[in-house]
Structure 1
Amino acid sequence: MEKKICLLRGINVSGKNKIKMKDLRDHLESSGLQNVSTYIQSGNIVFETRKKDSSNIAEDIRSLISDKYGYDVSCLVIEPEKLEKILAGLPEIIEDGRSSKKIYFMILDALPSEDRLSLLKDPKAYEPERFKIIDDVIYYSIPDHISPGKLNTNLFENKLKVTGTTRNKNTIEKLLDMV
């Protein structure tokens, strides 16, 4: 059995795509996943499976959600080791002086093209917010006194033409504790 983490995008946000996590846990377990647990209502799932291929597992979960609830949601399945690496790679400039609830990790479904990355070439244009893109992760932070910030999932997806899902540092740490 392998432990995996699933991050759903757009579940239970602003009253849209409502799914009760207990209901989802039961549904996922009945589909063959084991020891399914969830964290908060925004689609954070930890489970065990015999299946190896994370992209196939993600597609299976996406299909299960679509079939049962009628929602087509983005689903990212990753290994705990990848999440540990992402957390360990948090650039100091992003974390410096920021609370963990305002430090974000956007995990991309694919690497953005160089042309698209050039659209975000000047991080100073977003100060006092900060961001840094490393491989398929965008690390960003917003000062506590700013809400909402300019930097968010929609901005990055629109500029980079790549989809992704975002979690804050507290959520990432809790998911790793759950594993």
Structure 2
Amino acid sequence: MAGAVALLRGINVGGRNLIRMPELQAAFRDAGYLDVRTYIQSGNVLFATDAVAGAALEDGVERVLEERFGNAILAVVRSRDELAAIVDAAPAGHGDPDLRSDVLFLKDPAAVPDLLAAIPELDPEVDRVSPGPGVLYFSRVAARASSSRLTRIIGMPIYTRLTIRNWNTTTRVLALLDGA
């Protein structure tokens, strides 16, 4: 069995889609996943599976969540190795303390070029964006974060097909999958 993480979109945010972590863990265990753990309250579920990460696994996780909680919740699932490749491919400086750095995980990894092309013009003094394996890396200068144009993607149709994690969460989930 291989380690994987399900990155759930929009749970426990702004008082919507409230799901307690013990209930979320139970849903995964009841579906047959092993070594189920969660990290923070924002929908990071680490688990072991013999299924290959991809659309079929994501669809299965989403079915489990909808049946258990009555809400359609987007799940982006990445294997431990896929997450390690994402961390390793980060551009130089991503995660520096003077930046707010995020990873935009796309439901459809092949859609990275479409999202990159659709992003409105960025302020090069504030924002940096780089494509990666099934993700976009987005950083903004922390001291000027209120000037960032990242929020412009919120109104885009593709926004509903991605979930965002900050760099610290991304690297911590990988460390947890590695047993740290």
The bucket for the TM-score relative to the shorter chain is 0.7 to 0.9
**How far off is 1:96 after superposition?**
5.1
User: Unaligned regions of 5+ residues in structure 2, if any?
Assistant: none
- TM-score norm. by structure 1 comes to 0.83
Per the alignment, residue 173 of structure 2 pairs with 175
Q: 1:5 offset after TM fit, Å? A: 1.0
Equivalent pair of 1:120/1:159 in contact (CA under 8 Å) = no
Q: Report the TM-score, using the length of structure 2 for normalisation.
A: 0.83
Number of the residue aligned with 1:29: 29
1:4–1:148 distance in 2 versus 1, CA, 3 Å: farther
Distance change >3 Å, CA 134–CA 142, structure 1 → 2: same
Runs of 5+ unmatched residues, structure 1: none
5 Å matches for 1:83-94? 83-92=83-92, 94=94
The residue aligned with 1:81 is 81
Q: Say if 2:53 and 2:79, in contact at 8 Å, map to a contact too.
A: no
Matched, 1:104 2:102: yes
State the Cα RMSD in Å.
2.6
Give the counterpart letter for 2:150 in structure 1: L
1:23 CA drift (Å):
0.8
Letter in 2 for 1:72: A
Aligned to 2:15: 15
Q: CA deviation at 1:30?
A: 1.5
Measured after TM superposition, the shift of residue 91 of structure 1 is: 1.0
Rounded Cα–Cα distance in structure 1 between residues aligned with 2:159 and 2:25? 32
